[in-house]
A and B are shown apart, each in its own frame.
Chain A
Amino acid sequence: MADPNLKDKVEELIRDNQVLLFMKGTPESPACGNSMRAVNVLESYGIEYAALDVLPAMQPLREVTGEIADWTTFPQLYVNGQLVGGADIVEELDESGELAEVLGAERAEPAPQSAKQELKADNPQQSPPMQIER
């Protein structure tokens, strides 16, 4: 069973961030090809999004997202509190135009560099769950 404290924290992150990407690594330095694919798609919309690096707590986060969304692989994109999917779905919805509807944004290439909004530990509203004492 997933850690209830971590689960609460993750649910809060999903609720508080309109566009949230759980990924391996960071948008600047993705640690996995699939996470990079998801970042590349998001960047092409030039929107603000929050990104959380799952690597420091991958197994606990797998358990948590398994319970929350029945999805245990990363990346995972959440928009308006709902799981949109992993890299394959994000790319497929991007190509079909559905992602633009989900995000409420149009593709705007090249993505402005300021669009990235990474979770920082010094921002209490958005501190990664693994830094919470539990």
Chain B
Amino acid sequence: MALVDDVKTLIEHGLPGATVEVVDEGGGDHLRVQVSASQFEGLSLIEQHRLVKNAVRERSDTGELHSLTIKTSVPK
């Protein structure tokens, strides 16, 4: 599975119901992700990013996913 799809699936699993958009910024291992999730409500930015990062940790810790740019939001 391409890393883009893999990362999308992992985040959707980690944050059920979230809207996840993943874009390859180059090379297939530098990704940008936009995540809108109700789970972010009331959380600080760092806690929101932690949820996303921890969802894909198995890919980032191995270096497979080299860079993940994250933008989070709470659905209106």
Contact = CB atoms under 8 A, between A and B. Distances in A.
Interface string A22-48: 000000000011100000000000000
Nearest to A72: B61
Contact of B49 (A32, A72, A85): A85
Interface residues of B, number: 15
B45 A73 contact: no
Contacts of A85: 45-46, 49
Interface in A67-89: 70-73, 83-89
Nearest to B60: A73
Given A33-B67, A70-B54, A88-B49, 16 more contacts: A32-B67, A33-B30, A62-B61, A70-B50, A71-B50, A71-B53, A73-B60, A83-B46, A84-B46, A85-B45, A85-B49, A88-B69, A88-B70, A88-B71, A89-B45, A93-B45
Contacts of B60: 72-73
A70 B57 CA distance: 11
Interface of A: 32-34, 62, 70-73, 83-89, 92-93
B45 A72 contact: no
Nearest to B61: A72
Interface string B8-48: 00000000000000000000001000000000000001100
Contacts of A33: 30, 67
Nearest to B56: A73
Contacts of A62: 61
A130 B54 CA distance: 25
**Residue among B46, B53, B68 with max Cβ neighbours from chain A (10 Å):** B46
Contacts of A32: 67
